[in-house]
Amino acid sequence: MGPLTDALERAQDGDEQAFAALTDPFRRELQLHCYRMLGSLHDAEDLLQETLIAAWRGLSAFERRSSLRSWLYTIATNRCLNALRDAGRRPVSAAVPAGGPGSGGGAENFSEIAWLEPYPDVLLDGLADGAPGPEARYETKEAVALAFVSGLQHLAPKQRAVLVLRDVLAFRAEEVSTMLGASPASVNSALQRARAGLQSRALDPGARERLSVAGADSELVSRFAAAFEADDVDAVVALLTEDVIVSMPPQPEWHQGRDAVREFLSVRHLSRKGPWRFAAASANGQPAYAYYLRDGGVWRRMGMFVIAA
């Protein structure tokens, strides 16, 4: 009897420490999976806990026909799909108000995902080396970039699940079919539609340079943050590309182009009371800065800027 089998049998007999030893190695990757599915770190943590509770309660029925990892992903994925069905959360699009900041920015309608949250890079520690295998179409950092996670939220829930399980985690088609309780034909059809959906948003693997920020100039990013902290709108805008896009979920803001962003930042500067400070961070494999506002003599963290090249 091997150590894994022994721990599994003890866990099935009600040994909580054995259960923790079995499931702890998968906690971070399961949380990241839920984050990709839901776009919210808070919701991902809630669904992770639901997954572990369901696994604990259902462990006696685990027949070892699949790996423990595959079984846990089955529970997590279906919990996420249930949450998506219950909440009915899909991106809500609305036209940019005529004449308002950003109205001249781009041809697209404003489309914001109110629940989208950054994913701290510290939670990715130990995952980057765990390559999903040669069948994966996306690398770990590509598959956690905000643009990619945002793109996933525009897919139907089943398409989202199939694409993540197949193209990010590299589960075999037969495994995904079993996980979702769906026919292989419906899984393959969902995968093709999901790939087409991401490709239409320039998020297919052939356009991965759009997601890569590994080569971002750290000095340039520091200058950008310093200009922001100093409320030097002109200096900020000078560092932006002509087709820059600024969005601020959960606030209904979407601005494209230097002129639109300049107007937006000028209005925000006038409306903000008191100074602010920036602290370097990283999220979703991208440079980031947490920003703090002074409130009654105390610096309070109010949000995070995530920068994509």
Q: How far apart are CA 191 and CA 184, in angstroms?
A: 11
| Residue 54, pLDDT score | 97
Q: pLDDT tens digits, residue range 157-210?
A: 999 999 999 999 999 999 999 999 999 999 999 999 999 998 887 665 544 444
Q: How far apart are CA 152 and CA 84, in angstroms?
A: 13
| Residue 94, pLDDT score | 45
Q: pLDDT tens digits, residue range 63-73?
A: 888 899 999 99
**Residue type present at position 279:** A
Q: pLDDT tens digits, residue range 86-125?
A: 876 666 554 444 444 444 444 343 455 778 889 998 888 7
| pTM recorded for the entire structure | 0.81
Interstrand relation of 276-283 and 286-295 (parallel, antiparallel or unpaired): antiparallel
> What's the mean pLDDT when you consider all of the chain?
82
Give the bridge partners for 288, in sequence order.
Answer: 281, 306
Question: Please, where are the H alpha helices in the chain?
Answer: 3-12, 16-23, 27-38, 41-58, 68-87, 146-153, 157-163, 173-180, 184-200, 218-229, 233-238, 258-271
Cβ contact 26:18 at 8 Å: no
Q: Is the pLDDT of residue 10 over 50?
A: yes
Q: How far apart are CA 47 and CA 41, in angstroms?
A: 10
Q: pLDDT tens digits, residue range 24-48?
A: 999 999 999 999 999 999 999 999 9
- At residue 275 the predicted structure's pLDDT band, cuts being 50, 70 and 90, is confident
* Cα distances (Å, whole numbers) of residue 109 to 27, 33, 55, 192, 240: 38, 29, 42, 25, 22
